[in-house]
Chains A and B, each alone.
Chain A
Amino acid sequence: MNAFNRLLSTAAIGLAVGLTSVAAVAETPANMLVIANRIDDITTIDPAQSFEFAGSDVSRNIYSKLVNFNPLNLDAGYQPDLAESWTVSEDGRTITFTMREGVKFHSGNPVRAEDAEFSLRRVVILNKTPSFILTQFGFTAENVDKTIVADGNTISITTDKRYATSFVLNCLTAVIGGIVDKELVMANEVDGDLGNSWLATNSAGSGPYRLQGWKPNESVTLVSNPDYYGGAPAMERVIVRHVQESATQRLMLERGDIDVARNLNPEDVAGANKADDIAIDSELRGRLMYISVNQKHEHLAKPEVRQAIKYLVDYEGMQNSFLNGQYTIHQNFLPRTYLGAVDENPFSLNIKKAKELLASAGVGPFEIEVGVREAQERIEIAQSLQNTFAQAGITLNITVGTAKAILGRYRARELDMYVGAWGPDYPDPHTNAGTFAYNPDNSDEAKATGLLAYRNAWDTGGLTEKVAAAVIEGDRDIRAKMYADIQSEFRDIAPFAVLFQKIEQTGRNKVVKNLNLGGAITAVSYWPVTK
């Protein structure tokens, strides 16, 4: 939809609704939750492979894990789930989990340590995209029979070296930590795929819901598990319907045909907010917007220039205009609500200070190319930067392109500057620290293109070692402090300016209570919901 059409539709709906309000005439059943969401990113339901937002929403409600987040208290961090307790060996490499007794899969099969062993091993053996969350601990297809081992009611995992226990456990709360029913999955194995094809469209979990059906680009239907060990969910059925358009979602919400609208744009949020029976919830998510500059560039490599750039961003102006309600200012690489996250946002638009810094670096007016992927909000950020940078004598030439074109050049360290977005892969601070501030080999030959620091040719000046130290720190509080310190230093010296953190605004019928979208660290939870 182009901007003109969007404007027309918004104006039309705004006008019409202003004149004649859409009265809620329908009501969903009291034991059913109906949600409108964009679910066209779901490619599989298999926890060993699922790595998309809407897929994570489904998975979180189907699969219990060894450890998990309590949706009603996310700040408490990971909590026991299928593992009732755990112990850590003296060398810090082996964690032994004791399984909760009496829990059953949806199939009726008991949940055993053997199932947990199978589930974690298959993630490593299948080696799908999210498998790195486990393989970063040294697990390989060749060694899993020794490193992930069930014994009676316990399962032990042994990492290749000592890591912070909180790091390992946080990673086990990711989608890949879902425990599947070995017996059921293996009964549906085809050509040695460990049930991967079957689990793409079926479920074999022990969580509060089971999958009744997934129709791509249409709907996902979950039915409650009355035998869930945490208690039967109040919502016996959850239907997530794919509704692409914000205006359509709003109409359905106002009509009472759905309980929750997940993708309202700012205009529809403002409109829906006026209805008596609708509440708008704002929740911080993990996605960050940032800019970065290439350290191969003669001028951009100077510390004063890196500093100056952070004063050449109109954070407030963007937040209060085209990003209004969708993003909030955040200048640190750990999203708020993550372990070790900090709130300091010391930079604001200050052309005078930026000019002074540029002058002290001995840099006159110069031109750079900024690469932007063809996404509206990123293009608008680049245009705002073009305006403010020009005021300090830096000419930004904006190159807009597809992901393949722009990302390809960014990975090849060819762009002077990049306007990017980054979402954490798993709910541990290392997910972002390990890419923004970690780059053990900055040579072109290293080809560490997965690391953001590498893509900007940045030798992190000691932060790599600090990140490596933080990831093995056993004490959770000390570890949090280490990340806070790393971010403080990062803000000053890095060729990155983290700009904003994503806010998700959801329209909700006021009868729906306890709906938690998962914040920045996890996905939505349906089981605490009541009406």
Chain B
Amino acid sequence: MVTMLGLMFVTFVIGRIMPIDPVLAIVGEQASKSTYDAAYAQLGLDRPIIVQFSLYVWDVLHGDFGKSLLTARPVADDIKRVFPATLELASIGVFFGIILGVPLGVVAAVKRGSWIDQIARVIALVGYSMPIFWLGLMGLLVFYGILGWVGGPGRVGIFNVDIVPSVTGMILIDSLLDRNWPIFKDALSHIVLPASLLGYYSLAYISRMTRSFMLEQLSAEYITTARVKGMSESAVIWRHAFMNIRVQLITVIALSYANLLEGSVLTEIIFSWPGIGSYITTALLSADMNAVMGGTVVVGLIFILLNIFSDLLYKLFDPRAK
């Protein structure tokens, strides 16, 4: 609660001191002074900042993030609409990152210095250094533009928008619930490319960290002891070394997932994916401070929840934490 309050206060203050004018965003630069002043008062900006903040916190505690200037809708409704899109994309992205990144990191550590390790390093290096914008466009050009293997920008094809009833807001799940296989297939073909792109970036991070954690464990004395005792190499790697990096790995994965849940703005822009990242960015550039605050609070909440979840998993995996 204290963390959330702190986050809200910092965001609120930054919103007030940043050189973006929310009044201009409403009235436009051609407006007269009287129109400007009226909008200024209407937004409550003429009140002391502490009063503005108190009122805002009171409203948030009642589930009211205010109305977005950009969408003319309650911010809470906007977040309900955009967050599932990001959740769906980030979850599949981090899934790709885990199932490929963890084994790759383990193998790279075990085969340290080998060609497998070098390949893993190049994959990670490319993932770290290649501009996501370029990679996304190239992916679209090749797999959508030329080969036609995947769907284009957007969550589903233009003619499939709003066909399945929205239950969770995640089209893959909603189409499954609705047993609408064509929409499921269409949604899958649209999500696979951006999710792979995000998964690749997670993979780069997760595999490097896994390799590093594993190297530390593999050089420990208990591993030597296990090998001296005649345990098979796979048992040494997976039952001993890997089991001991699970806690660290959870932190890495949680951080990676949280980063994706913040919304990858460039990925969302390239793929016209209406997620929370592009929502907050558009709001920020348009001085829509209610939307920025609402989005920031949600992202903060995600970090806190993931931290709590990680702590619970620590207790599960590490007897010392119980």
Contact = CB atoms under 8 A, between A and B. Distances in A.
Interface stretch (B87-95, B181-189, B270-278): B270-278
A247 B70 contact: no
Contacts of B271: 248
A251 B282 contact: no
Given A132-B32, A404-B24, A251 B71 contact: no
A13 B145 CA distance: 10
Interface in A1-51: 1, 4-5, 8-9, 12-13, 16-17, 20, 22, 25, 28-29, 34, 40, 43-44, 51
B152 A252 contact: yes
B146 A248 contact: no
B147 to A, nearest CB: 10
Contact of A251 (B33, B81, B140, B158): B140
A43 B152 contact: no
Nearest to A251: B145
B81 A402 contact: no
A51 B28 contact: yes
Chain A interface main SS type: mixed
Contacts of A217: 71, 274, 278-279, 282
Contact of B32 (A12, A257, A422, A449): A449
Given A16-B141, A20-B146, A129-B35, A403 B26 contact: no
Contact of A239 (B31, B39, B158, B270): B158
Contact of B152 (A221, A257, A402, A403): A257
Contacts of A245: 137, 269-270
A477 B71 CA distance: 42
A405 interface: yes
A324 interface: no
Contacts of A28: 158
Nearest to A29: B159
A450 B144 contact: no
Interface residues of B, number: 52
Contacts of A243: 153, 272
A241 interface: yes
- Which has the most chain B C-beta neighbours within 10 Å: A197, A213, A242? A242
Contacts of B3: none
A356 interface: no
- Which has the most chain A C-beta neighbours within 10 Å: B69, B153, B269? B153
Contacts of A219: 158, 161
B189 to A, nearest CB: 13
B137 A13 contact: yes
A530 B196 CA distance: 39
Given A5-B134, A12-B141, A404-B19, A218 B72 contact: no
A216 interface: yes
Q: How large is the interface on A (under 10, 10 to 19, 20 to 34, 35 or more residues)?
A: 35 or more
A248 B32 contact: no
Interface in A218-256: 218-219, 221, 239, 241-245, 247-248, 251-252, 254-255
B71 A22 contact: no
B165 interface: no
A422 B29 CA distance: 9
B19 A43 contact: no
A44 B24 contact: no
A4 B131 CA distance: 10
- Which has the most chain B C-beta neighbours within 10 Å: A221, A403, A448? A403
A329 interface: no
Contacts of A16: 138, 141-142, 145-146
Contact of B81 (A1, A5, A44, A215): A215
Given A40-B282, A248-B270, A257-B152, A241 B137 contact: no
B146 A402 contact: no
Interface in B69-88: 69-73, 78, 81
A450 B32 contact: yes
A201 B81 CA distance: 15
A447 to B, nearest CB: 5
B30 interface: yes
A9 B72 CA distance: 34
A1 B71 CA distance: 23
A450 B158 CA distance: 42
B169 interface: no
Contact of B72 (A43, A242, A258): A43
Given A247-B137, A450-B32, A216 B70 contact: yes
Given A43-B69, A245-B269, A251-B144, A215 B274 contact: yes
A447 B34 CA distance: 10
B284 to A, nearest CB: 12
Contact of B24 (A22, A201, A242, A403): A403
A241 B272 contact: yes
A17 to B, nearest CB: 8
B145 A450 contact: no
B58 interface: no
A216 B78 contact: yes
A314 B75 CA distance: 47
A275 B282 CA distance: 33
B232 to A, nearest CB: 47
A432 B140 CA distance: 43
A126 to B, nearest CB: 12
B145 A22 contact: yes
B270 A22 contact: no
B19 A12 contact: no
Contact of A5 (B20, B131, B148, B272): B131
Contacts of B269: 1, 244-245
B247 interface: no
B227 to A, nearest CB: 48
A43 B20 contact: no
Nearest to A451: B32
B131 to A, nearest CB: 5
B300 interface: no
B229 to A, nearest CB: 54
B66 interface: no
Contacts of A257: 152, 157-158
A34 B27 contact: no
Contact of A132 (B19, B29, B35, B278): B35
A213 B154 contact: no
A165 to B, nearest CB: 25
A425 interface: yes
Given A129-B39, A241-B158, A248-B271, 10 more contacts: A29-B159, A132-B35, A217-B282, A243-B272, A248-B272, A251-B145, A252-B153, A404-B20, A407-B24, A408-B21
19 contacts: A8-B133, A9-B134, A16-B138, A16-B142, A17-B145, A28-B158, A29-B159, A129-B35, A215-B81, A219-B158, A221-B161, A243-B153, A252-B153, A255-B148, A402-B19, A403-B21, A404-B19, A422-B30, A425-B30
Q: Which 9 A-B pairs have the closest CB atoms?
A: A216-B71, A404-B21, A200-B72, A450-B32, A402-B19, A5-B133, A22-B145, A9-B137, A8-B134
